[in-house]
Structure 1
Amino acid sequence: MTDTPDARPDAARRPVALAWMREAARVREAEGLHRELRPRAAVRDRLDLASNDYLGLARDPRVTAAAARAAQEWGGGATASRLVVGTTQAHDAFERDLAAFLGLPASLVFSSGYMANMGAVSALMGRGDLIVSDGGAHASLIDGCRLSRARVVVVDRGDHDAVRAVLAARDEERALVVTDSVYSIDGAVAPIRELYAAARDHGAALLVDEAHAIGVRGPGGRGVVAEVGLTGAPDLVVTGVLSKSLAAQGGFVAGSDLLRDHLVDRARTFIFDTGLAPAAVGAAHAALAILRDEPHLADRVREVARRLAAACGGDAPDSAVVSLIVGEPGPALAASLRCRDEGVDVGCFRPPSVPPGTARLRLTARADLTDTEIARAADVVTAARTAAMAGAV
């Protein structure tokens, strides 16, 4: 018998390749940037001001019943890519109704808002093209820019003059401007009309992510694009999510029939991803019908946000988001944990989600919050924030 050489003679002496993560974790912990998953129970015993359930429809019996019916009819999952067998009649019907609600010819549903933005941007732009990215754009748009391999220029948030300057100086024939309509961090509204004019005047298209605007801004909750009178305008692409006001899961891209056909052929996050689960389609379709039939919900959520901001000492919001700056990550996290301990869930946004020194509590209003709940939340949040900023937490 011949000796078998040891395939790893020096294995015991080799450093562990991923050991660097231990030091990285220690640094994050010291900087107050460690994050934890905290599973919640089905029955919530705390007041929810952290989720993006803006219209309070996630547990609405009409929505949950529609999700159950869809699962019973079509199964627990889409079972494949939508180009194989993952597109059901439920998907088709929802896309038609969603497009009609938005006042656009067509829409295409993706498995998440992240996939919708990445797919749209990378399918529209490629090598040799230019993307001008608004400084407040969501991470999904940023990653879509990277995936596209186009040249990317980032401008300050909402700076439409800078957009004009970049577009005017470009050598590329094709260009796209990407932005959120409502910035997710503080709920401010982007200058969509001015950004569109800048893009249009220089032969570029504009992609607007309406994730935080659908159900909140515009006529009947149809978003900022509708609010500023640009519905159906040429060279304008609308994206959004089904996981906020529409109380389900998934994302969409809406615009012309030509756009939809192009995405079906070219969007990698559509072609190679399993289709959105039927239960999510059913839930979103039901929530869309509620929003269409009860347009006052959009007004109500903005009213609740204004009242929360006033009671907590924040700036008057333009959307459902109330942003309360604390400062450093550690105190902000401590304030959010104190709120949680006292029965109120709030968001805690720390770098890199926000610039250094601006860690904050992020409250999201819901249309179904009662006067009593608003008052209770304000008391808890104000006390926690004040203590954190004073170093008493």
Structure 2
Amino acid sequence: MIIPTSVSAEVNVRIGMLRLPVEETRAVPEYLREPENNGEAGAELSIIDANGTGKFLGQKYALIVETSDDIHRLKQAATKWYNDGIRYFLIDVDTASLVALRKAIPEDALLFNVGNQDVALRAETCLPNTLQTALSYAMQGDALSQWLRVKRLNKIFLVSGVTAADNAYLDAVKTTLKKYNHNVVDEKVWDFDTDLRRSASAEIPLFTQAGNYDAVLVIDESNLFGQHLPYNTWLPRPVIGTHGLRADGWSYVVEQFGAIQFQNRFTKRFDRHMTAKDYAAWVAVRSVNEAVTALNKGDVETVLPFIMSDRFQLAAYKGRKLTYRPWNGQLRQTVPLFDAQALVATAPFEGFLHPRNELDSLGIDEAQSQCRLFKFNTANNQ
């Protein structure tokens, strides 16, 4: 798909998006299924926004998308686009595929990871010229752990699923619970295939019998059982994690700092709510657009140093100017905590300090990461 503009431009910025198709799981209720254009819609809106201002500045933006579960097809598309002059890529694939694509695309191209939350990509799998606009599981876990500490809920009952994504999130949560000195009083894995739509009120109370706990932290990335935990647990306790009170990069309940107009524009165009992945893709394109607007140049050699410098501060409807961490390319950002109807809080919380930037209290800090990707700007970002 190409989103064109008819305006003649002096600066042409073409962006390629490589993504896996959305998996269809019949066990998941339709209202909880991932939209087929998840992420792609956010990138499309950002391209439209960029062209809205670009037409006055002699700048033109275009988006090309390839969706496939065949890594060879994605690599072929990336190679063709690169040979055609494309140097900016949005990537929404699993870790192994992301590593393969980074190897296939020459390093003078800039990649944005807009969907993969793997902590390893921020800690030891250090991909060159790759920025991360998606939240990591560690950032989500830290946001939840800070909230638990603020609310003095220390005894945690962990419930998780069995998928690879569940296990990755679980590992990050265990690390952050330990960091904030929370006590895991019990841990259980949901590995049943029961249809809970008919039996949640009977099955969940039995499953959640455990010692005394202050909160249930559920990890169910596939929406197979987690939605049935709130109000059904053996002890009447708050449910947080992937269900109940959630921490993620974006939600349709965020309306502060001009976000309500932003949400309305997205909903009007795509007839659905904006997701966290849509937001991550939107902010990736917005990062390039911000740099090109300031520099009136579209080459990576000029744009990337600007993005990683202290001159770059991105306004993105989160109440704080956003920047990128120089050691691993992670976008610094506040993390909303919300339920299905309202924004509850925003992390980081008051009192969780950091010597450099309080946003760095969320996720993998420099001392915890082996990555040192953008050394030329480290001093400017501190």
Which structure's residues are more often helix, by fraction? Answer: 1
TM-score (norm 1): 0.31
Looking at CA atoms only, which structure, 1 or 2, has the larger radius of gyration?
1
